[in-house]
Chains A and B, each alone.
Chain A
Amino acid sequence: MRCIRSSTGPSIVFVMALSLPWSSPALAHVEQGQAAGFLIGLQHPWSGFDHVLAMIAVGLWGAQLGAPAMWLLPVTFPMVMAFGGMLGLMGVKLPGIEIGIALSAVMLGVMVLAEARPKLMLAASLVSFFAVFHGHAHGTELPPGQNGLLYSMGFVIATGFLHGLGILLGLLHRWPAGKLALRSAGAFIAVMGVTFLWGALK
């Protein structure tokens, strides 16, 4: 019985943690915009499959590369993505956003598939380049009437958790079967990226 309890406890916590991004605001209090701003920001990165795949791919690739890339890439991505978001908020036009986002899934998927090991600066530059497109798309899609700070906090935290999820999955890289699973995930992300690209070019 104790064994069952000890194994179900973490599972329940895990399921609860997973359900957080899809939770709806309680709106129990007067300042509705405040809570909604944070929760909408928290949900936004999860709302597009292309974003989710690219951000998880960053974590997977970082885990394959090992330290310090494992930490540098997820540190770099939100900062540069926020820069793209700032450009989007300011109304600065950036051509080929959807193509850039689709290409990010293709490129990052291929990197994970091939277990590519470029120099650290090159890997960081590649991730940073694509982060601008993701950030810009988020910046221009921000719904009106939200609390800017709380929305931004939710948005950045959710992005960070997606990278964390990627790194966590990337820890499978320690085992031979895990390596194969990660490369398969890379192939899946690249194929999905091609379908996104097809949609963007149509």
Chain B
Amino acid sequence: MAGIASLCCPSSAAAHLVMTGMGPVYDGIGHLLLTPEDLVAALSLALYAGLRGPISGRRTMFLLPFAWLIGGIAGLAVNALPTFPVSAVSFLVTGGLVAADFYMPVSAVMVLGIVFGFAHGFLNGVALNEGAGILGLLGIMIMLFILTAFAAALVVSLNKPWARIAVRVSGSWTFAIGLLMLGWFIREAK
């Protein structure tokens, strides 16, 4: 009887994401996973760090998310999008390095990770300015750490030559996508 009576004055359950949202940290996690400009580029850098060995992979795993966070905070503060095609250049650089399996000392890989992380983080910061904000950046950082750790560790563990070649093939694809993105960018700019 009480149950039937309560039906007369129900309130919304708000149990689903459309109503409640996922929260800013999960928004950040979703942002990284659903933004191929960042996801593919970050994975490509992680693959390269893995190709350069375990030390390089480990340091990138910590440095990249940290630089991304710093860049994101700067993006939140500045809130101005650069006209430079950051994603296309990231794809070209990281894809080219993976495809060529180009040797670089660990320190140079670190510098690359810092510059790359800062640039992408800055773009994310600008994008999240009116949304998830700093907590969103934290979500991105967490997801980035996990992805970088998995991707770099996977490559470090590869022993068979064909498996490393498969990684290099993925680099050539990333490089090719970067070239096409650059073409799109120039066409749009005309």
Contact = CB atoms under 8 A, between A and B. Distances in A.
B44 interface: no
A139 B183 contact: yes
Given A75-B169, A82-B179, A149-B37, 13 more contacts: A74-B169, A76-B172, A78-B173, A78-B176, A79-B176, A82-B176, A85-B183, A86-B179, A89-B180, A89-B183, A91-B187, A91-B190, A139-B180
B182 A86 contact: yes
Interface of A: 71, 74-76, 78-79, 81-83, 85-91, 139, 148-153, 155-157, 159-160
A155 B183 contact: no
Contact of B36 (A71, A81, A150): A150
Contacts of A151: 180
Interface residues of B, number: 25
Contacts of A148: 180-181, 184-185, 188
> Which secondary structure dominates chain A's binding surface?
helix
Interface of B: 36-37, 40, 87, 99, 165, 168-169, 172-173, 175-188, 190
B183 A90 contact: yes
B174 to A, nearest CB: 8
11 contacts: A74-B172, A75-B169, A79-B179, A82-B179, A86-B180, A88-B183, A90-B187, A148-B184, A149-B184, A152-B176, A152-B177
Nearest to B190: A91
Given A75-B99, A75-B168, A75-B169, A153 B179 contact: no
A52 to B, nearest CB: 18
A73 B40 CA distance: 23
A153 B91 CA distance: 11
Contacts of A89: 180, 183-184, 186-187
Given A71-B169, A75-B168, A156 B183 contact: no
Given A79-B176, A79-B179, A87-B183, A153 B168 contact: no
A152 B169 contact: no
Nearest to B178: A82
A156 B181 CA distance: 12
A75 B178 CA distance: 15
In order of increasing CB-CB distance, the 3 nearest A-B pairs are A89-B183, A86-B183, A82-B176
Given A79-B99, A79-B179, A156 B173 contact: yes
B183 to A, nearest CB: 3
